Chains A and B, each alone.
Chain A
């Protein structure tokens, strides 16, 4: 059986695709899977930086497809996990440097050595999106619970559905703020899922640890203090087929006084 090829996409930029890809890859490798991460964001690479591997790049995916090196030469092994590798993107080329067919070929070659191929898709719906999704059979659609992000995610769902090959689609609601949801000032997970109509695989709370870990080039899934890291680890387990319940975002206020307070705090 070949490797699972999973693309992490969103449509909108800045919703947390790269951070999600890096953390899920690390979490899956921690769980024993052989994982390779592909940075498909040619010209705007960042997965190397989030992984803390930016100083180790010699070759990239364009060097591979233009046959300046072997695929194995371009792969960068993680500092701690032997079963985790990164195929970086170049920083000085544009999205047209790779074609969807070449991406499929690269993934086919990687399938021999890995269980899971996780592709970090660039923002937008142009060539970079076409490349990143060409070989994938599963998609993790990352969205923030706000209007522009959900609108773009809906467009992505439509584009993935129009592809000839069937693709399983899963929703990750990222950077949710429980206190805002509690006060009815942010869309809740059910609202987002209801609008997008795809299966939910994870809810990641907004967490300062994500910024702190990224600053250091380490991963939130390896931090004991990170609530987002815990949520991302749960997603990795669900990707592997484990039945992990979704924890409540916040404790419900059930007391009479709380209900009165809530009622009077409505705008």
Chain B
């Protein structure tokens, strides 16, 4: 790992993990799915 990578880890905001992305995408798509269903 380069010094720049280490510094960016220390300073920057961490990128979301694939798990986080899955969770966020699911929340959105389920919200949309549920809103489309008839009452």
- Residues of chain A touching chain B, judged by Cβ–Cβ distance below 8 Å, are 146-147, 150-151, 154-155, 158, 181, 184-188, 191, 195, 263-264, 266-267
What are the 3 closest A-B residue pairs judged by CB atoms, nearest first? Answer: A184-B17, A184-B19, A185-B18
Q: B17 near A154 (CB under 8 angstroms)?
A: no
Find the B residue at minimum CB distance from A267.
B15
Q: Give Cα A146 to B19, complex, Å.
A: 9
Q: A264 near B9 (CB under 8 angstroms)?
A: yes
Q: Give Cα A264 to B9, complex, Å.
A: 8
Total count of chain B residues near the partner, CB < 8 A: 19
State whether A266 and B33 are in contact (beta carbons under 8 Å apart), knowing that A147-B25, A147-B26, A187-B22 are contacts in the complex: no
Q: B22 near A146 (CB under 8 angstroms)?
A: yes
Taking CB atoms, residues of chain B closer than 8 Å to A146 are 22
Interface core residue of A147, A158, A263, A264 (most chain B CB under 10 Å) = A147
Q: Which of A147, A155, A185, A264 contacts B17 (CB 8 A)?
A: A185
**Contact mask B10-21 → A, CB, 8 Å, 1/0?**
000011011110
Q: Closest CB-CB distance, A167 to chain B, in whole Å?
A: 18
Taking CB atoms, residues of chain B closer than 8 Å to A195 are 23, 26-27, 30
Q: Give Cα A264 to B1, complex, Å.
A: 9
